[in-house]
Structure formats: C-alpha cells, structure tokens
Structure 1
Amino acid sequence: MKLRHFIAIIGFLTTSLIYCQNQQITLEDIWSGAFRTEGMQALHSMKNGKQYSVLNFNRTTRTATIDIYDYKTLEKVKTLVSSADIAEIQGFFDYTFSDDELQVILTTNEVPVFRRSRLGEYYVYNIASKKLTKVSDDLVQEPTLSPDGTKIAYGFENNLYVKDLSSGKVMALTSDGEKNKIINGITDWVYEEEFAFVRAFDWNADSNQIAFIRFDETEVPEFSMDVFGSGLYQTQQVFKYPKAGEANSKVSLHLYDLNSEKLQELKVDKAYADFYIPRLEWTNEANVLSVQYMNRHQDELDLWMIDTKTMTSDLVLEEKDKAYVDVTFNLTFLEDNSFIWTSEKDGYNHIYHYAKDGKLINQVTKGNWEVTNYYGFNEKTNSIYYQSVENGSINRDIYSIKLNGKNKKRLSKTEGTNSASFSADFTYFINTHSSATSPPEYTLNNSKSGEVVKSIKDNDRLAQKVGDFVTSKKEFSTINVNGNDLNMWMIKPANFDATKAYPLFMYQYSGPGSQQVANRWNGTNDYWYQMLAQQGYIVACVDGRGTGFKGADFKKVTQNELGKYEVEDQIEAAKKLGALPYVDATRIGIWGWSYGGFMSSNALFKGNDVFKMAIAVAPVTSWRFYDSIYTERYMTTPQENPSGYDENSPINHVGKLEGDFLLIHGSGDDNVHLQNTMRMVEALIQADKQFEWMIYPDKNHGIYGGNTRLHLYKKMTNFINKTLGDKLEKNKEEKEASKIKG
C-alpha cells in the first residue's frame, strides 16, 4: 500500500514536471506581474557603517516599517519607524534621513507631475521624541532638511519656502513664482527631462544659506494637450516646452541668506549669451558653491567655484568636446575640497582627481573601456570604488583603485551585471548581481577582497517559476556590420530546427549612449520575446553605432545626423541575418519605442527591400518636434543644421513605405508629443500609403495604467502574427492535418 502510494506520488510529480516545463508564456502572465522580481526597497547605509535600513511593507497588516539591519550578521536589529505606531498618518512608502539620522522625512502621498517631479504630502518624524511634523498642508515639492536638521526647505507653486521645525514658522524665500512664467528652485520641464534633476536648490554646510536656480519661462513657447478624462468636456494641460531652436528658459543663480534674510543674484566672471546651469552643489566649505555652466551647443562645460563671503568666482575646470560634453552626478568633493570628476576627454569615460583650484592631480582610471558608475572615496584607505565594463561592454563589474591609480582590484566575481551599495565606512558593499540566466541576487561582500560574506536575498523562486515555462537561451554574440563589430543577442524557438526558415523580429532603441544588448536578467519585454520565440519567431537585437560603452568615437559618430548611421546599421544587420539559412529573408520585422520608434519607422521606409513590417510606439517623427536640450546636444539647432534634421526624419520618407506599418501613441505624452504621430499620419495619407494606428487616450510616454499595457501588447502581437506569421499559421494547419491523417 505504501509502495503503491509512493509510486503514485512519483508518477504525479513526473507528470506535473513534464506539464510545467511545457507551459507557454502568455501576455496575461507577463502583465499580471507573474515574473516580478523581489528587491531591497529604499536601501540606506547608516552613518555608523555597521548597519543599513530598508523599507518593508507587510501586505497583510498594510504596515510600512523602516527596519535596521546589521551588516555583519544581516539580522534585523530594530524597527526604527512603523506606520502602525503613527496615528496621524495611514502609512508611508518612501523615506529620507536627515544628515545626522535623528530625523526622517516620510512620504505619505504623491501625485506625479512629469517623469521625475512629484507633488506630495510629507512629514518629518523625530526618532527620539517620536514627534511628527507635517511639512505643509499643501502638496509641495522636493522637501529637503538642512544639514543641522532644524529646518526644511521645499517648493510650492513655483516659490521656495523654509520651515523652522521647532517653532513651525514658515519663511518665503521668493515671491515672484508664477505658473508658466517664473520657477524658483524647481527645474522646468526640459531640465527635469534632459538633465535628470528636479531639486534646483541646495543647503550649505552651515544650514544658513540656500543657493537656487531661477527659471524665467516667459519667452518659452507653450505646448498644450487635451485631457479627455471622463467628463462631458475635455480639459487642457498647458506647459512650457522649448522645441529645438526655440527659446529656452532664462536661468539665473541666486542666494538666500537666512541670517540676514537677504536674497541676491550670484554671477560668475564670464559673460554667457545663451546657457544652461545643469548642476549646483555646495562644497565642504560652507561659503564655497560649485556651479556648472554649459553653452547651448553643450560642447563646453565650465565648473565654477563661487565664494559667497567675498562674492568672487573662479573658473576651475573647462571641458570641451567636438561633439558634446555629458553632464553627470559624479562630481565629489574630498575633505580637502579637491574633487573627483569623470570625463571622456581621452576617448573613454574615466575618473580624474583635481585639486580644489582645478589643477589636475592625476587620471585615476585608464584604458579602452568605460567607467559606468562612481560609488565613492574611502578617505582612510585612499581608495575609489567604481563600476565599469572592463570585462566586456555587455557586462558590469565592481572595482576598487587607489586615488593614485594603482592597486586596482576587481571586487565582483560573477560575470553579468553587478552594481554596489557601499556601507558608509566602506567596510562592506551590498552587491546586486544578475545575468541573462540568473535573476537578481543581493549579497553582502567584503570591500577589500570582494568575497561574499552572506546572501541577503535571491530570486530563486522566480528562477524556478520561469523554469516551468518553455523558454530559450538568449545567445550573445557580435555581428560585423559596416566595418564594426556590433553587440547582438538572439532568441530562437525552443524547438529550433536549423533546416527550417523562421521569420525574424528585431528590436532596438539605438539612442545616443544607450544599450539594449546587456548581460542582465529579463525585463518585461524579454518575456514577450520568449513568447514570440515559442510561437515560431527568431527575435534579435543589435546595438549599432551611436550606442554606448564602447568609447566616445563609437557613440558620437552620429553627431549632427541622428538616424543615418544607426538606420544603416539596422538595415545591414537585417540583411546579414536574413542571409542565414534558418532565417526567412522575406519575413523580417522591426520595432521600437520612442527613439526606437523613430528608428523602426526609418528602417521600414529606407529599408523597404529588407523589412516587411515595423511597429513604432511613441516615435519622434521629426527632430524639429522634440525638445531643445536633447535634440541640440546631438544636432545643434534646426536653423544651423536643417539638412541633418530633415534628411533622416521618417516623416520625410513616407513615400518609400512598401511593407506593413503600425503606429502607436498616447494622447497625453508630454515628452514625445502626439503631434509627431499626427503629422506622420497626415504625411502617410497624402502619400496614399495604407497603415494601421492606435491612440491611447490620456496615456503618457509610458502608455500604461489599468488594462492598457496588456491591450497594447495584444495589439502588437496580433499585428506581428498577421504580417510575419502567415506561413506559421499554414505550418500549424499542416501539422494538425497530418495528426488527423495519422
């Protein structure tokens, strides 16, 4: 009886295993979150260097907690803050410590404005007294505690305010803020999108001065979007958006002294005609402010030091490039106010050490590879920690190196994508590793040797779950196209038969400095590609010229001609792949989103003898329609470079359309405006070209919300099957017919 029971169990498990390994991925699986990875939320290293904090959320009790863990043991030491103990609020979903870690800003409610900006409801929680102070009864922006923890600054309705946490007194630093005219201390739309920051103010070390950027948007043209909503009449969102060649905000630098309550403009000793201020940051000296100024062409970047005591300025560093200079967040001041800087000036992105007066001390890293992240400097050991692609441009590894450029060590041990979060004293780092075959794993590592101390969190359950589905290996290789070895990945059907010819579906993004061919765990689209592969498609991705992490020359070759060399590479790559015996060259398609949609449109039009179909989601159709900072960085202005704008914009090549084209956009896209698709549609109509298109009402550049993503991917999948999969359907019918005959 027991034996028969045991055999029955084995039989059941075997049958289940066989069944599970044959599960097919569905769009419902993908967009229900079935393949979501687990991570460590809001990880913060405590100043003592021995502990770290993490935000945890109990879904059963709906309680949020900030929990403290010990680096050495990984055991939870205590719960620092629990929403269950704070009667005044229902919960929180993010937090920020004060510099002394005696207080924490709790985020309880936020409303998105644009990509990075939020209006929110925030509280300051005093850990010792357990006192909770509401920052404002209004929804405000970018609340930031002073270094001494006694005050908090924030933006509200385009003005800056400071609240004294002891007395509750609120002081207005500015009063001229006005929607679509003047913004104080918060970036305008184009700075937020292209310079990647929202808080344009900073406290000095003594907590008595705030420096900020003022944006005068008065002359910037307005853009408007209809918001259809659910009411009887649509509303309209109107905001300032400088398109290429149009007027930008006039920016100026200002200082508010809280002791004297005096507001004044700060100026540098150089006349700039049309310029940006992409970064400002106080140094370790309370009266010395660092500010970066950049010309409109973005091929010159100046680093200034402004002494707010003497009101003098020194130009300490000038970066120039024949194409453009990248703005980063890597400027770091050491105790002596010397500073770390990253630059591509030798042809690859590397780390440099400068004296506080701008004199070069030494180039810290060197080689034909790129530094991709700067993590920090350990004053005690004189060591710098960074991430780079030294182990191949599709991989990321963690390294340490002495400030003098000697004794370099590779700290990460496993090939793939590694990223690090170091303890405050640099004794440990939490390494996040993933690869195309391994989901994210978080480990505690020793910063001297890189050896793993303990595993913190893995995604083994997800790996097992993915293993239950029919999937194929993502094969990495290079393909020689137009004289360059380009990185590529390919996914073939699990039952791949080299004697058959399969349709090819290509994906790319291709924007300057981007990368899609990377040795990392699946993104959501990767599961879609696996689903398509099991339906009988070969899916491939090629990073062409203009993409990143292979040196400045490779990246900047597209300068002034976006859409020329990148498109040539996709067309040539498709031809080479189409020549493979197992690829059906008559059924090649391509798709992309945003810049990738610009590319897929161009590829279909210019490569009409190669591509049978294309899908373009939220595409730029003419660079004349896109914003000033991004577009002019790579193209200068349309007034200076009209041919560069027009010769490679797909809107001007619609007459070449021969294949099948699906055009998709969200009507609420504040980034790549629906104007792009509407102008493309009109051009296609006037060229008497048939096509398909879909507009998602009120959806932004990400086109998501509710059932939207599932609907979008169903639409794209159906279009792929209709345009590339005709022979697939015939093969299925033939197989079914043969089964019946058998």
Structure 2
Amino acid sequence: MKTEPSEPPSFPRLQARTQRFTLGAPRAFTVSPDGGRVVFLRSRSGTDRANVLWVLDVGSGEERVAADPPALLKGAAERLSAEERARRERSREGGAGIVAYATDSAVELASFALSGRLFAAELRVGTARELRVPGPVIDPRPSPDGRLIAYVSGGALRVVGAEGADDRVLAEPESETVTYGLAEFIAAEEMGRSRGFWWSPEADRLLVARVDDAPVRRWWIADPAHPDRAPQQVAYPAAGTENADVRLFVMGLDGQRAEVLWDRERYPYVAHVHWSAAGAPLVLVQARDQRSQLFLAVDPVTGATRMVHADEDPHWLDLFPGVPCWSPGGQLVRIADEGGARVLAFGERPLTGPQLQLRAVLDVSDDDVLVSASAGEGAASPETGEIHVYRVNELGVERISQEPGVHSAVRGGGVTVLVSSVPDKPGADVQVLRDGKRVGTVASYAEHPGLSPRVTLTEGGARRIPCAVLLPTDYDGEAPLPVLMDPYGGPHGQRVLAAHNAFLTSQWFADQGFAVIVADGRGMPGRSPAWEKAIKDDMAAVVLQDQVDALDGLAGRFPLDLHRVAIRGWSFGGYLAGLAVLRRPDVFHAGVLGAPVTDQRLYDTHYTERYLGDPNRQPEVYAANSLIDDNGLVLAAGPARPTMIVHGLADDNVVVAHSLRLSSALLAAGRPHEVVPLSGVTHMTPQEQVAENLLLLQVDFLKRSLGLD
C-alpha cells in the first residue's frame, strides 16, 4: 500500500517546534585556559529540547559528548522543582536536559543539575557521574581547583567533594523566607545577575548572598482552568513597594563567616559581583533610584569594604555584562557614560570614544580587553543593526568580526570562539580562532526555517530611527500594502538586527500580505546614552512618537497604505501597541496587545523606577505612562480601534491583572475588544500548539480588522 507523503509543517508550527530555530544550535561556550578545549551545550537535532554537554578538541577538531542527559537519567522523565522552573522563567530558558553548567578554573571538571540531581563531568576523558546529595539541586559550581562543588538545595548553601564525599551545609536558612546562594527576583529578572554565590580564587571560602524576601508584598497567581488547585504565592516587588533584604557574607569552609559591610540603606541593590586572582572581591551596589552606585573592594577576612570608584547620573546608571572586573594587572575595568558616549574605562582612563557604543566586556587579558559594541554616533558611517567584537588596548581598537551582522565571542588561552549571525544566512556560524586565524568550527543542527526575510535595513524620520522593512516574498511592486508595525520598542529589546533569523516571524506576517515595519526608537540600546535616556519620566509619549515618525518617514520610500495600519507586540511591545490604538487612533487602525504592561504600578521596582521614579512621589508620571489609571483609560479622542489582548494566566512577570484591568476599563468605556486568555502559559509561550495558533489567530484578527480578504 502506497503511503502519501505528509505535508511539511507550516512555518508557525516549525517555529514553535524548534523554539524559534534555536534548538540544535550550539551555545554557552567555555574555552580552557590552555586553549585546548571548547565546552558547549547543544541538542542533537533542531527539534530536540534536551541539551547535551559537548567538548571540542581544538587541535584535532573532534567533538565528543561529555554528558548525555538520557543516559544519565536512564530514560526517566525530567522533574523540575518550583525553584528551578522559576530560574528558567527568569532567564527565558525553554530548553531541557543540561541548560547550564559551570567549570573549575582549568576547565577540567564541569558540574550541572539534571532533574534536580547533581552531576559532575570529567571534560578531558568525557565521563560523567552522579553525586548523591540532598536535592533538589540548584546552580552547582565547582571550586576553582576542582576539589569541591558548591550548590543550593532547600534554600541552603552546601558543599560536597567532587567525588561525592563529605557533603555538608555552609549556610542554613533561618526561616522560610530566607535563602542562601540564590539571586532574588529582580536581580535575575532585571539586573542580569542570576547567581548568588562566588568561589574565592584559592577555593578556601565563598562570597554568598543571603536573601530575605519577607518584606516583599505577596501576590497570588491562580489557574482558573483548574479551580481545584490552590493559587501560587509569589513575592513580587511592585514599583514603590518593598524589595527583598539582600546581604553578603564571606564564608569559610570551616563555618566561619563575616558580613560584608556597606551602607545598605543608601545602596540596597547588589548588582554585580566579581572575584578573581587579580584583586579583592569586587561588588557593585546601586541606590534605589539607580542614579548613584559604588564599586566596593571587600576584605575577605573581615568583610570591611573600601570604595574603588563611584558613579552618578541625573537619569540612571545602566548595568553591563562582564563589568566591573579587575584586569590581570589589578586595574578596574568598567563601562561608563562619558562625554556623550558609552566608553570602556581602564582604571580612570577611557580607551574608546564616540565611535563605539559599548555593550559588554567579553574578556580581559594582560594585552587587551575584548568587547562587544555598536557603531556610535561618532562613527564614520551608520551600521544599522550591527554588533561587532573588538580588541581594545592602549594602542587602539581593532575589529575582530568583519562581516556585517551580529557577533559575540568567548575567549581563553589564545583561542576565541566567534559566534556570528548575518543577514543572508540562517542561524549562526561558530568559528574557532587562534591568533586571528580560523582553526575550526562548531556545527549547528538547527532546522532551516524554510523562508528568508526580504528585509531592508534603513533609517526613518528626522531622528534617523533604525528600521527594518519587510515586503511579501512575491510582492510585485505595484499596489500599496497594508502596514503592520512589529516593534518591541522598549529598553534592552533591540529588534532591528543585521541577522537573518531576527526577522523570520516578521517575514511570515509580510507573506500574509503586509508591509511589516520594525522600528527601534529612543530608549533602545546601540546608539548613545542620550538616545536611551530620552524616555526618562516620559516613556509613553517618546516611544509612541518614534513609531509614528518612523512610519511617516518610510511612507515616501516604500509602498505603504497609511489608511490600513496595524500594530502588534509582546510585553513592552504589547504596551506600545496599546498606546498606539488608544492614543493615536488617527494613525493606527488595529492592535494586538500581547502580555501588555497596562498599569506601571504593577511592574517591578528595579525596572520601572529606573525610568519613571518612585510612584509614591510622582504618581502623575505613572498615570501618564500607563494605559489605565485610577480613573480608567488614558486615551485620546478618536474612534475605537479593534483590539485583541492576549495574556498567559500563569505569567509571574507581567501578571494577567494588567490585561484584566485594561479589559474592564475598555468595557466601562464602551469599547469593543477581544481577549485571548492562555491557560497555563507564562510570559514565554513554549507550548508548540499555543505558539503556532497564536500567530494564526493574530493574522485572522488583523485581516478582519483592516478589511482584508
């Protein structure tokens, strides 16, 4: 009997199945200090969620498995603790298997948690073993000498020998609200600090965060689809309310401890910790308003601190990956806003100028600093959407990545792993470089998306707003097209990137008959500090105006039908879509609001107060920047535009109360709208059927709302 060939999966289904074509792609690279090994994670195919720990031998080019989850679990299904699920939600981790690992300083031993159990892998020989310890295990990390592994279980910080002997508690929580060794909610969600303990270079003690979230207001997240289940209690630090109490302790392996002392009332935020052989433990602490911060060196014996550097800014101070840190010679390395530019500072000296907009420090050696940066406002020519890797030292700046695209890197032992995404090729290319020359590659098993974006990277409006314009693949160039604005539009969410996969969803929408525009207005990273900080206290008006200006600026150059303009977005993008249909119905004719922040008082402290201040001191700023306030909708006069609101009921980041309150306000104002509640869905939408059907529902809504067939 002949079997008919099955239809290939649609793009929405394939994108959902592959987690946006990230499955099977290598990531989380570590290079050994001798340059001989590159360790990384990768699943075995573009539809396999389970990450495997791999080792690349740089000399031979051979890849081998160091730890294989199915073999280690003997076929058993993974089970995650509530704490581990929360950590993955904070990091937007949708994978399975080994999702994170840590190594000793020689990159000989790796440790990781799998299904709440502790495992160690010998990276040279490729063997892995389980260590029988109390669980569930969170964030295991070997000591620099590889003799011990520290981990968190039940809120306690524990240490065990690398062979599994002598497991013991270093710090036991004093109450149910206390944890040792974990990052609090806002550190993981907003500060980029997912860790809560750091080994000393000598492996004889640890710097440990003690978090007490007793002061934090409790919220309840229910599952209406299962009324028999009790609501989940979460400690959520909403703007203007109390944060968790965070302290640091230096703890010896013998049980002795010393509290790290600084003015915690003035500087309550522990934003970054660095401990290396180049100097004393280095801690960056911020004021609640984030306008001042201190770089503190810690005495590891007494816990006393001394100020190394202090920063102030009238708007706010941003945080950057990789800094502050010590150079091998003991100089403070940081990123600073000076002279209208975001520069690399080495000691008290800036090593870069307005030509570059620094984004991250990737590695610091005796000879140079490896950084990630965009072309700044002082650059000779704009490089829309490009991010490059540079070597910086006293002699100047050298660009490592050459091809236009989005690049990042990891370095060690004279070997650089360069990860490059470019506009005309799917996925990312991973090259292994020694002394600037390619000596190997790391293969990707990611699926081909089956479409290629027809994208033009350009600038729109008088402010030269970075934009991407996508037209249907089969567009004949004659009739003007209905427009779909597809932004994120807010801080830390750059969407206009010179990379193929960045525009796959936008191209799919374009192929449904739209001209799709992605615009990165003020507030976005990559241009200058002033560009980012223009949204201070006036976020709503600025980001919305830039979407309008980008649209108007592109209208004369592209076939745009300005009588049929829709907008869609998720999270900040959902908020921006709400601003568009409520405040500028003269421009926008329909909107899809995904997980929108509608009342700024319901979002967290560190993020919201950075841009809008304290709601207890300036409630009028919060009202002006929200879609709703105590009196209902904040809107302009004009026709009611078709609006679809989509929200996951299990979202603990942008809670569903945002959408429910908006829906109630719309109903009270007599404004028709549609609400799509997603049962069991968090701020991510990893479920395959949900992710696929969400795209299809949006297209149907947009076509109906704009009067399209």
TM range (shorter): 0.7 to 0.9
Instruction: State the partner residue of 1:227.
Output: 223
Q: Is 2:372 aligned against 1:387?
A: yes
Matches within 5 A, 1:438-587: 438-444=425-431, 446=433, 448=435, 450-457=436-443, 462=448, 466=450, 473-480=454-461, 483-523=462-502, 526-577=503-554, 582-587=559-564
Q: Is 2:607 aligned against 1:630?
A: yes
Unaligned 5+ runs, structure 2: 1-6, 79-96, 376-381
Whether the aligned pair in 2 keeps the contact of 1:654 and 1:684 (CA below 8 Å) is no
C-alpha distance after superposition, 1:552-586 (max 9, x if no partner): 00110111122111111212333444566832221
CA distance in 2: counterparts of 1:131 and 1:437, whole angstroms: 39
Partner SS state of residue 314, structure 2? coil
Q: How much has 1:64 moved relative to structure 2?
A: 8.1
Partner SS state of residue 668, structure 1? coil
C-alpha distance after superposition, 1:626-663 (max 9, x if no partner): 11110001111112222211112112325746211111
Instruction: State the partner residue of 2:90.
Output: none
CA distance in 2: counterparts of 1:103 and 1:682, whole angstroms: 55
Change over 3 Å in CA distance of 1:125–1:388 after alignment to 2:
closer
| Identical residues among aligned pairs (%) | 20
Q: How much has 1:529 moved relative to structure 2?
A: 2.7
Q: How much has 1:315 moved relative to structure 2?
A: 0.5
Q: Is 2:85 aligned against 1:97?
A: no
Matches within 5 A, 1:122-271: 122-125=118-121, 132-134=129-131, 136-165=133-162, 168-179=165-176, 181-228=177-224, 233-259=228-254, 261-268=255-262, 270=263
Partner SS state of residue 619, structure 1? coil
C-alpha distance after superposition, 1:50-95 (max 9, x if no partner): 332344655799998655433255234x655567986978696354
C-alpha distance after superposition, 1:695-717 (max 9, x if no partner): 10121011332411112112111
Matches within 5 A, 1:405-420: 406-420=395-409
Q: Is 2:300 aligned against 1:308?
A: yes
CA distance in 2: counterparts of 1:430 and 1:130, whole angstroms: 24
Q: How much has 1:276 moved relative to structure 2?
A: 1.1
C-alpha distance after superposition, 1:325-354 (max 9, x if no partner): 112232232333223211123332221112
The partner residue of 1:695 within 671, 677, 682 is 677
Deviates more, 1:550-559 or 1:194-203: 194-203
Q: How much has 1:103 moved relative to structure 2?
A: 2.7
CA distance in 2: counterparts of 1:27 and 1:680, whole angstroms: 28
Give the alignment's TM-score, normalised by structure 2: 0.87
Partner SS state of residue 485, structure 2? strand
Q: How much has 1:212 moved relative to structure 2?
A: 1.6
Partner SS state of residue 245, structure 1? coil
Instruction: State the partner residue of 2:410.
Output: 421
Whether the aligned pair in 2 keeps the contact of 1:432 and 1:440 (CA below 8 Å) is no
Change over 3 Å in CA distance of 1:193–1:32 after alignment to 2:
closer
One-letter amino acid matched to 1:327: L
Instruction: State the partner residue of 1:353.
Output: 346
Whether the aligned pair in 2 keeps the contact of 1:696 and 1:703 (CA below 8 Å) is no
Q: Is 2:423 aligned against 1:436?
A: yes
Whether the aligned pair in 1 keeps the contact of 2:12 and 2:695 (CA below 8 Å) is yes
Instruction: State the partner residue of 2:696.
Output: 714
C-alpha distance after superposition, 1:384-410 (max 9, x if no partner): 2222223624112222232x1x14222
The partner residue of 1:107 within 89, 113, 130 is 113
Deviates more, 1:575-584 or 1:666-675: 575-584
CA distance in 1: counterparts of 2:71 and 2:666, whole angstroms: 61
Higher relative contact order (CA 8 A, sep 6+): 2
CA distance in 1: counterparts of 2:337 and 2:513, whole angstroms: 43
CA distance in 1: counterparts of 2:51 and 2:609, whole angstroms: 44
Partner SS state of residue 506, structure 2? helix
Whether the aligned pair in 1 keeps the contact of 2:283 and 2:297 (CA below 8 Å) is yes
Whether the aligned pair in 2 keeps the contact of 1:411 and 1:451 (CA below 8 Å) is no
CA distance in 1: counterparts of 2:43 and 2:566, whole angstroms: 43
Q: How much has 1:222 moved relative to structure 2?
A: 0.4
Q: How much has 1:140 moved relative to structure 2?
A: 2.1
Q: Is 2:572 aligned against 1:595?
A: yes
Instruction: State the partner residue of 2:81.
Output: none
Deviates more, 1:702-711 or 1:491-500: 491-500
Whether the aligned pair in 2 keeps the contact of 1:575 and 1:610 (CA below 8 Å) is no
Give the alignment's TM-score, normalised by structure 1: 0.83
Whether the aligned pair in 2 keeps the contact of 1:386 and 1:400 (CA below 8 Å) is yes
Partner SS state of residue 281, structure 2? strand
Instruction: State the partner residue of 2:290.
Output: 298
CA distance in 2: counterparts of 1:87 and 1:707, whole angstroms: 27
CA distance in 2: counterparts of 1:631 and 1:554, whole angstroms: 18
Change over 3 Å in CA distance of 1:101–1:681 after alignment to 2:
same
Change over 3 Å in CA distance of 1:135–1:638 after alignment to 2:
farther
CA distance in 1: counterparts of 2:392 and 2:191, whole angstroms: 29
Change over 3 Å in CA distance of 1:108–1:607 after alignment to 2:
same
CA distance in 2: counterparts of 1:227 and 1:392, whole angstroms: 46
Deviates more, 1:593-602 or 1:339-348: 339-348
Partner SS state of residue 640, structure 1? coil
Change over 3 Å in CA distance of 1:290–1:528 after alignment to 2:
closer
One-letter amino acid matched to 1:410: R
C-alpha distance after superposition, 1:443-480 (max 9, x if no partner): 535454x4444554468983xx73xx5x5520111111
The structure number with the bigger radius of gyration is 1
Q: How much has 1:604 moved relative to structure 2?
A: 0.9
Deviates more, 1:702-711 or 1:298-307: 702-711
Partner SS state of residue 563, structure 1? helix
The partner residue of 1:373 within 354, 357, 360 is 360
Partner SS state of residue 527, structure 1? helix
Whether the aligned pair in 2 keeps the contact of 1:487 and 1:542 (CA below 8 Å) is yes
Unaligned 5+ runs, structure 1: 1-19, 110-119, 355-359, 730-742
CA distance in 2: counterparts of 1:473 and 1:479, whole angstroms: 18
C-alpha distance after superposition, 1:14-69 (max 9, x if no partner): xxxxxx9xx99653344344983652244331232133234465579999865543
Whether the aligned pair in 2 keeps the contact of 1:256 and 1:262 (CA below 8 Å) is yes
Whether the aligned pair in 1 keeps the contact of 2:544 and 2:576 (CA below 8 Å) is yes
Q: How much has 1:258 moved relative to structure 2?
A: 2.0
C-alpha distance after superposition, 1:428-456 (max 9, x if no partner): 323222222222343535454x4444554
CA distance in 1: counterparts of 2:155 and 2:173, whole angstroms: 8
Deviates more, 1:158-167 or 1:239-248: 158-167
Q: How much has 1:666 moved relative to structure 2?
A: 0.6
C-alpha distance after superposition, 1:665-698 (max 9, x if no partner): 0111100011101111111111111111111012
